[in-house]
A and B are shown apart, each in its own frame.
Chain A
Amino acid sequence: MLVYTLKRLFIAFLVALTVSLITFSLTYVAGDPATAIAGEAATEADIEYIRELYGFDRPILIQYAEWFLNAMQGDFGQSFYFKLPVADILFERLPISMTLGVCAITFAISLSIPLGVLAAMRPNSFLDRLALGISVVGQAMPSFWFALMLIVIFAVWYPILPTTGSESWEHFILPTIVLGYYATPAIMRLTRTGMLEVLGSDYIRTARAKGLPQHVVLFKHALRNAVIPVVSLAAVQFGFMLGGSIVIESIFALHGAGYLAWESIGRNDLPVVQAVVLIFSLFYIVLTFLSDLLNAWLDPRIRVG
């Protein structure tokens, strides 16, 4: 297990390094950064001055090394727009997105895994159809429309929940439902497929032959094996949710990191965009690493690899 963990950790580190390189190169993707900062009315001399001021005239490798070392210490430079340290802006916005992400994935998992298990227990039953219906609707319905419908129901017809802002936990209920429901279909279908396959396997028959009660067969013997692909999928979806959804954050006026990224792209505020991309990528890398560890704990055969 230790060897496996170290291996995974090393791979995660390499991926993180690659991502940081790509993120850094974003500086130059949108054209000459000095021109962008200087603005439209700038003279050639102004641009040259800014190029020197920001250090864009130095060799690219040195620029990368400096940016990387600073980023490692939590210094992502200054926002072009706010003229404030990027880190300050980011750490004001991130908690909102992360709260929403954690709530949404918890909601999604606690809805989809039990539903998937129930559906697999009685394939083609009413319950299975119902679960299928829920997932088809979730897959087909655009989240912005679902969000608007929830607002109409819970804020207009029955005004019991707030719809804008992030001041209290109640503000997170509707966004959580919308974002979590979006992730439910895939997790549920994967759980169902996995359970169906596992329930037909020889070791489940062995477990039944041992006289174990249904819940032990289902949750001890079957679910642990069925849930392995679900873990990987949920990790990716969690990564997506942590990053926040621009659509959902806009509708509910939750000014999280996703919304910030969208704003900053519009303002050409590159340091912010860079930092957001880097942080979100790191979320994915950490989550993938954790899901690999979780899977290795679930299935001892993975630990060997």
Chain B
Amino acid sequence: MSAVLEVKGLTVDIPVAAGDLHAVRGIDFSVEKGETLCIVGESGCGKSLTSLSIMGLLPKRAKIAAETMEFAGTDLLGMKEKELASIRGNRMAMIFQEPMTSLNPAYTIGNQLMEPYIRHKKASDKEARERAIYLLERVGITAAASRLSQYPHQLSGGLRQRVMIAMALMCDPELIIADEPTTALDVTIQAQILHLLAELRNEFNSALILITHDLGVVARVADKVAVMYAGKIVEAGTVEEIFRKPLHPYTQGLINCIPVPGKTARGSRLGSIPGIVPTLIGDIRGCSFRNRCAFAHDACDTADPYHSLAPGRGYRCTLDVATCEANAKELVSA
């Protein structure tokens, strides 16, 4: 099966006063039809910039480069703005983190929903309207037809995020990128929205890239997982591999932070990873996690080799697989 999106060696540099901020430092991933890839990491690890660079929505001053960045076999980086615009919102669509501010306050829901469909599919107002009503119903909004004339401020956050999802689906995209789609929502709504996303991905048979910092979200919907730290992918694998046998100390630390009912003792301290993410300005050598890693040794100062164990499975560490597996076992049994 050919990948909907194939990315190799993607880097994003942002010029700042002190030099270049290496926000994304050579990452590889791919996602296929009907597949969900979760990119996990804490804030500032470069996951949002990764999604914006796929969409071609990076701020102008950001410098982007990649060995490969192909969408359905065509190179995205070589595209002119016009060609890219004809793909955006049409064959690939994005759902943003902030439903409260991501809709234009001055236009009705209907106007904003119909806009990309009319533009990309050369549809009539009537067709676009029908499509909008169908999708609003599909994302679980009642009285869909009457919602079209409402303004964003008349809807709750959960409803607005559903509208955003409907908007992303208007042109039946091959790739949907959702950047923290549930972070700004109530916990009860979060589960509904995730469920909806997973369901729609199956129904529309599109590829889904879900960007999140929440491992709970990952466990629910991911097929494949890429764990990002300081602009690099430190571990990649299927959701089972990541949760059952996390190899990178950072992934292990993340999983250790999740309380497990019945396992984590009441009143005990939750796991945490000490320290903060290092600055990514200027020359960076060695493993960027070493200052927070319990297993750090001299070799980490200069090297951070990537071990590819199987297609789509690997980790970036100076420790060998056996040691990492042993660490994982200890963690899982603890």
Q: Mark A176-209, 1 if CB is under 8 A from B, else 0.
A: 0000000000000000000000000111011111
- In the complex, whether B46 has a CB less than 8 A from a CB of chain A is no
A202-B98, A301-B151 known; A208 vs B57 contact (CB < 8 Å): yes
Which among B21-29, B89-97, B206-214, B285-293 touches the partner chain?
B89-97
Given contacts A209-B89, A211-B120, contact A299 B102 (CB under 8 A): no
Nearest CB on A from B56, distance (A): 9
Q: Is the CB–CB distance between A207 and B90 below 8 Å?
A: no
Instruction: Specify which of A203, A209, A213 is in contact with B104 (CB 8 Å cutoff).
Output: A203
| Cα(A225)–Cα(B106), bound, Å | 7
In the complex the two chains form, is A209's CB within 8 Å of B105's CB? no
Interface residues on A, range: 20 to 34
- Which of B57, B90, B102, B106 has the most chain A CB atoms inside 10 A of its CB? B106
Residues of B near A221 (CB, < 8 A) are: 104, 106-107
A129 CB-CB contact with B under 8 Å: no
| Contact call A209/B106, Cβ cutoff below 8 A | no
Residues of chain A within 8 A of B103, CB atoms compared: 203, 206
- Chain B residues, CB < 8 A from A304: 153
CB-CB < 8 A to B82: which residues of A? Answer: 213
CA distance A304 to B154 in the complex (A): 10
B101 CB-CB contact with A under 8 Å: yes
For the residues of B in contact with A, the DSSP-based class is mixed
Q: Which residues of A contact B104 (CB under 8 A)?
A: 203, 206-207, 221, 225
A301 vs B100: C-alpha distance in the bound complex, in angstroms?
14
Complex CA distance for A225 and B105, rounded to whole angstroms: 8
* Distance from B84 Cβ to chain A, minimum over Cβ atoms (Å): 8
Contacts A202-B96, A205-B57, A300-B153 given; does A210 touch B115 at CB 8 Å: yes
Count of interface residues, chain B, beta-carbon cutoff 8 Å: 29
A212 CB-CB contact with B under 8 Å: yes
* CB of B291, distance to nearest CB on chain A (Å): 33
Please determine whether B106 and A210 come into contact, CB atoms closer than 8 angstroms.
no
A267 at the interface (CB under 8 A from B): no
CA distance A299 to B106 in the complex (A): 5
Q: A225-B106, A300-B153 are in contact. Are A209 and B55 (CB under 8 A)?
A: yes
A301 to B102, CA, bound (A): 16
A209 near B94 with CB under 8 A, answer yes
C-alpha spacing A304/B150, complex, angstroms? 13
- Given the known interface contacts A213-B85, A301-B153, the answer about A224 and B55 at a Cβ–Cβ threshold of 8 Å is no
For window 58-86 of A, CB contacts with B under 8 Å fall at: none
A9 close to chain B: CB less than 8 A: no
Report Cα–Cα, A132/B96, bound state, in Å: 35
Contact indicator B115/A201 (Cβ below 8 Å):
no
Interface residues of A (CB under 8 A from B): 201-203, 205-213, 221, 224-225, 298-301, 304
- What are 26 pairs between A and B in contact, CB < 8 Å? A202-B98, A202-B102, A203-B101, A203-B105, A205-B102, A206-B103, A209-B88, A209-B93, A209-B94, A210-B116, A210-B167, A211-B84, A211-B87, A212-B85, A212-B115, A213-B85, A221-B104, A221-B107, A224-B106, A225-B106, A299-B106, A300-B105, A300-B106, A300-B153, A301-B151, A301-B153
Give the interface of B toward A (CB within 8 A): 55, 57, 82, 84-90, 93-94, 96, 98, 101-107, 115-116, 119-120, 151, 153, 164, 167
